[in-house]
Amino acid sequence: MTAVRPLAVVTGGAGFIGSHMVDLLVARGFRVHVIDNLVGGRAANLAHHGSGPDVVLDERDIRALAPGDALFAGARFVFHFAGIGDIVPSIERPIDYLSANVQGTVHVLEAARAAGVEKLVYAASSSCYGLAEVPTAETHPIQPQYPYALSKYLGEVSAFHWHQVYRLPVNSIRIFNAYGTRSRTSGAYGAVFGVFLRQKLGGKPFTVVGDGTQRRDFLYVTDVAEGFLAAALTPLSGEAWNVGAGDPRSVNRLVELLGGEAVHIPKRPGEPDCTFADITKIRRNLGWQPKVSFEEGVARVLAAIDYWREAPLWNAETIAAATRTWFDTLAPQA
């Protein structure tokens, strides 16, 4: 008799990181139930798995979940990526962000608790640290600078509260600057890779914020997924770990690897000069470490650049209009 393969639930599993999490789980012998309302995700990100029983997509909003939800029945692990991102829309629509990222998380927690899952791993954000000292360890003070960062941190607080009160086994991964294939192609002005890739396809200059010497702790998406699986498999619970490369690279280096001209746009308030994950704890606790170099990761993205052909094409003027609220709200008070 063939053994029944274990089941995992991935919320936001048709999105950028979530779809790579699904790939890893299937490769490791799991069946996967994906919950994604396809506002930010794409069903095509899962299409290569075919129409068989390995991957089942449910197109609901996580706020529609309830204890006893059939998709969670028998699940060993839950990986919670679903939510809404971006800085500017969070400043303009804070209620939506707190609703999706905090209340939505509570719905997932309750469904997982009722199902008696072995572990839930929450996708947190390094934005909780704010304008942090670097390298940034998990013990750094929490200083969210805008509603998106606050909402993701409050989701993490909720997850740990369920661990404390209800004994739900929970771990959290604080993601630094994830990049890779299948990153978002639509929606508000956002992450640098999507903006630059569409500009390259359009033969337009890259819009570099400030002088481009700011550094980001870029981590390739498959390494992120490996970190989440390690956080599920460990007997430890109630822990938060940073996931980054621990090797920040400048935006100018990214421009050099992508190849093209650049124009410079104003530096923005509330953005750090450097993000730099101290990954000592996750290396020590879980034996995890990044495998994909920045140069190799950028080459992989360039090989799949056609994915971004339908993404918005930004320029200095449209970015200025899209980020006006950012400057108006987060600029230092006189």
Give the model's pLDDT for residue 3. 74
Give the model's pLDDT for residue 184. 82
The domain in which residue 48 lies consists of: 7-179+220-243
Helices (H), the chain: 16-27, 87-92, 94-98, 104-115, 147-166, 192-201, 221-233, 251-258, 280-286, 294-303, 316-322, 324-330
29 lies in the same domain as 159: yes
For residues 307-328, give the mean pLDDT. 91
302 lies in the same domain as 226: no
Give the model's pLDDT for residue 308. 93
Instruction: State yes or no: pLDDT of 127 exceeds 70.
Output: yes
Give the model's pLDDT for residue 2. 58
Distance CA 33, CA 264 (A): 43
Three-state DSSP class for 253? helix
Of 189 and 149, the one with more pLDDT = 149
Q: How confident is the model at residue 328 (pLDDT cuts 50, 70, 90)?
A: confident
Give the model's pLDDT for residue 253. 98
Confirm whether 286 is domain-assigned.
no
Query: Is 17 in contact with 9 (CB distance < 8 Å)?
Result: no
Distance CA 314, CA 206 (A): 9
Confirm whether 186 is domain-assigned.
no
Instruction: State yes or no: pLDDT of 334 exceeds 60.
Output: no
For residues 271-295, give the mean pLDDT. 97
Confirm whether 162 is domain-assigned.
yes
Instruction: State yes or no: pLDDT of 271 exceeds 90.
Output: no
Residue closest to 202 by CA, chosen among 323, 320, 312, 322: 312
For tokens 């704010």, the residue is 130
For the chain, what is the domain count?
2
Give the model's pLDDT for residue 4. 84
Give the model's pLDDT for residue 333. 62
151-178 residue pLDDT tens: 999 999 999 999 999 999 999 999 999 9
Residue 307: CATH number of its domain: 3.90.25.10
12 lies in the same domain as 42: yes
Confirm whether 24 is domain-assigned.
yes
For the chain, what percent of residues have pLDDT higher than 70?
A: 97
Give the model's pLDDT for residue 78. 99
36-77 residue pLDDT tens: 999 999 999 999 998 778 999 999 999 999 999 999 999 999
Confirm whether 280 is domain-assigned.
no
Residue 37 tokens, joined:
């309302």
Q: What is the amino acid identity at position 102? A: V
Give the model's pLDDT for residue 325. 87
Confirm whether 185 is domain-assigned.
no
Lowest mean pLDDT among 57-71, 94-108, 112-126, 262-276: 262-276
114 lies in the same domain as 199: no
Q: For helices 16-27 and 221-233, give the axis angle rounded to 10 degrees.
A: 60
Instruction: State yes or no: pLDDT of 187 exceeds 70.
Output: no
191-232 residue pLDDT tens: 899 999 999 999 999 999 999 999 999 999 999 999 999 999
Residue closest to 146 by CA, chosen among 286, 299, 330: 330
198 lies in the same domain as 308: yes
Mean pLDDT, rounded, of the chain: 95
56 lies in the same domain as 93: yes
37 lies in the same domain as 52: yes
Neighbours of 129 (CB within 10 A): 26
150 lies in the same domain as 210: no
Confirm whether 99 is domain-assigned.
yes
Residue closest to 61 by CA, chosen among 12, 127, 26, 121: 12
Residue 174: CATH number of its domain: 3.40.50.720
16 lies in the same domain as 98: yes
Confirm whether 283 is domain-assigned.
no
Residues 6+ apart with CB under 8 A from 251: 192, 208, 209, 212, 213, 214, 215, 216
Q: How confident is the model at residue 1 (pLDDT cuts 50, 70, 90)?
A: low
Angle, vertex CA 97, rays to CA 94 and CA 102, nearest 5: 125
Estimate the share of the chain in helix, then strand, then coil, as percent rounded to the nearest 5.
Answer: 45, 15, 40
237 lies in the same domain as 129: yes
DSSP 124: E
For residues 17-32, give the mean pLDDT. 98
* Residues carrying an active site annotation: 148
227 lies in the same domain as 266: no
102 lies in the same domain as 197: no
